[in-house]
């Protein structure tokens, strides 16, 4: 069962062949949050369709390309768009881009997503560091025969969201005069939004945020020992909190509205993560 490994290796080599930069940090940019990749300099854009075995995103607001470029002084690989379980992809396909990051030699990632706010102290447009997750997607990309070349059969998830990265993100947010919350992200299958009763249930079990992504990517990242920082943008309050229907349009509009501060935070955080000795390129 070396299939995923060999496919990820081939995809990684095909990406690296097309650029001279060697990205140190991987980014996966969520709904309405992909604009950061447009701000990279010296960039090479590779449509997902041109990367072997790469899943193609179908969601509106997801461009579907990998952009390799410089964020200031930091070489990064940014996925502008991701794929979701609700699109009909398998858990392994959803995690595949993270596998490719791993084979590209990337040892730290920043994941962003749009999420519904369950915690009543959040407001629309709030940015929230994910401190932990609850996987309610009913599946796991690590299920099936384990590939030891990626990582162990039973990977630990106690420190899935790197504490030191959260601390430095909080410090950089403070420098920028931004409020940065912290919370637990619950991932559901979707694509329907939750019912108010489901949101009440999620609050009861300890979730602050709800969304349809990120968790499979984190599971694959941690399987490979890749360190993770994840940030949600509360694009809407979760179902039933405000007496109004949820819409994907609202999700995209809020992403657009927080773009500038979100990008400033990413730019400030990247060089701090790059200086983590644990993620130095392996010889
Ligand atoms: N629920 C699930 N996913 C989401 C939401 C939500 O309210 N907002 C953005 N993604």
Secondary structure of the chain in the HEC alphabet?
Answer: CCHHHHHHHHHHHHHHHCCCCCCCEEEEECCCCHHHHHHCEEEEEEEHHHCCCCCCCCCCCCCCEEEEEEECCEEEEEEECCCCHHHCCCHHHHHHHHHHHHHCCCCEEEEEEEEEECCCCCCCCCEEEEEEEEEECCCCCCCCCCCCCCCCCCCCCCCCCCHHHHHHHHHHHHHCCCCEEEEEEEEECCCCCCCHHHHHHHHHCCCCEEECCCHHHHHHHHHCCCEEEEEEEEEEECECCECCCCCHHHHHHHHHHHHHHHHHHHHHHHHHHHCCHHHCCCC
C-alpha 214/C-alpha 264 separation (Å) is 21
Share of the chain above pLDDT 90, in %: 82
In the chain, where are the structural domains located? 4-267
Q: What is the pLDDT of residue 252?
A: 85
| One CATH from 3.40.50.300, 1.10.3720.10, 3.40.50.720, 3.40.50.1580 for 4-267 | 3.40.50.1580
Cβ–ligand 1 contact at 210 (below 6 Å) = yes
Q: What is the pLDDT of residue 129?
A: 98
Per the structure block, which two tokens stand in for 97? 């881009």
Q: What is the pLDDT of residues 81-93, one digit of tens each?
A: 889 999 999 999 9
Residue 87 annotated among the catalytic residues of the structure? yes
Q: How far is the CA of 212 from the centre of ligand 1 (A)?
A: 7
Question: Do 27 and 56 touch, CB atoms closer than 8 A?
Answer: no
Ligand 1, atom 10, lies closest to the CA of 115
Residue 77 annotated among the catalytic residues of the structure? no
Q: What is the pLDDT of residue 232?
A: 96
Q: How far is the CA of 114 from the centre of ligand 1 (A)?
A: 7
Residue 114 annotated among the catalytic residues of the structure? yes
Cβ–ligand 1 contact at 30 (below 6 Å) = no
Q: What is the pLDDT of residues 112-138, one digit of tens each?
A: 999 999 999 999 999 999 999 999 999
Q: What is the pLDDT of residue 196?
A: 97
Place of tokens 């701090």: 272
Q: What is the pLDDT of residues 249-270, one digit of tens each?
A: 888 888 888 889 999 999 999 9
Residue 194 CA, closest ligand 1 atom number? 1
Q: How far is the CA of 252 from the centre of ligand 1 (A)?
A: 11
Stretch 187-193: mean pLDDT, rounded? 96
Interstrand relation of 227-237 and 108-117 (parallel, antiparallel or unpaired): parallel
Q: How far is the CA of 254 from the centre of ligand 1 (A)?
A: 12
- Please choose from 86, 192, 193 the residue to mutate so as to test ligand 1's pocket, defined by most ligand atoms within 8 A of CB: 193
- pLDDT value at 2 more than 60: no
C-alpha 275/C-alpha 30 separation (Å) is 25
Stretch 147-152: mean pLDDT, rounded? 95
Cα angle value 181/39/161 (rounded, 5°): 35
Mean of all residue pLDDT scores within the chain: 93
Share of the chain above pLDDT 70, in %: 96
C-alpha 106/C-alpha 40 separation (Å) is 18
Q: CA–CA distance from 48 to each of 38, 52, 56, 82, 180 (Å)? A: 16, 8, 6, 10, 32
Options 71, 98, 114, 224, the catalytic residue: 114
pLDDT confidence band for 59 (50 / 70 / 90): low
Q: What is the pLDDT of residues 150-184, one digit of tens each?
A: 999 999 999 999 999 999 999 999 999 999 999 99
Q: What is the pLDDT of residue 250?
A: 85
Q: What is the pLDDT of residue 255?
A: 82
Residue 232 annotated among the catalytic residues of the structure? no
Question: Do 216 and 81 touch, CB atoms closer than 8 A?
Answer: no
- pLDDT value at 1 more than 50: no
Q: How far is the CA of 77 from the centre of ligand 1 (A)?
A: 25
Residue 212 CA, closest ligand 1 atom number? 3
């Amino acid at each position: 069962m070396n299939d995923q490994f060999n496919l990820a290796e081939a995809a990684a080599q095909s990406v690296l062949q097309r650029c001279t930069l060697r990205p140190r940090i991987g980014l996966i940019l969520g709904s309405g949050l992909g604009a950061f990749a447009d701000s990279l300099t010296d960039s090479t854009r590779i449509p997902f369709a041109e990367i072997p075995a790469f899943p193609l995103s179908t969601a509106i607001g997801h461009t579907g390309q990998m952009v390799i470029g410089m964020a200031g002084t930091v070489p990064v690989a940014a996925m502008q768009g991701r794929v979701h379980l609700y699109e009909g992809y398998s858990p392994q396909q959803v995690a595949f881009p993270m596998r490719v990051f791993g084979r590209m030699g990337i040892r730290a990632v920043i994941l962003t997503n749009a999420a519904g706010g369950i915690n009543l102290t959040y407001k629309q447009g709030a940015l929230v560091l994910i401190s932990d997750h609850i996987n309610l997607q009913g599946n796991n990309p690590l299920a099936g025969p384990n590939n030891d070349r990626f990582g162990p059969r039973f990977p630990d998830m106690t420190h899935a969201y790197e504490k030191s990265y959260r601390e430095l993100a909080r410090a950089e947010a403070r420098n920028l005069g931004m409020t940065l919350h912290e919370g637990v992200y619950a991932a559901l299958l979707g694509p329907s939004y939750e019912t108010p009763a489901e949101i009440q249930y999620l609050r009861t079990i300890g979730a602050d945020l709800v969304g349809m992504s990120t968790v499979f990517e984190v599971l694959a990242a941690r399987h490979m020992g890749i360190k993770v920082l994840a940030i949600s943008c509360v694009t809407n309050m979760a179902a039933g909190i405000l007496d109004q229907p949820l819409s994907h349009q609202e999700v995209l509009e809020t992403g657009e509205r927080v773009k500038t501060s979100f990008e400033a935070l990413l730019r400030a955080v990247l060089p701090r993560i790059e200086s983590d000795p644990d993620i130095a390129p392996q010889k």
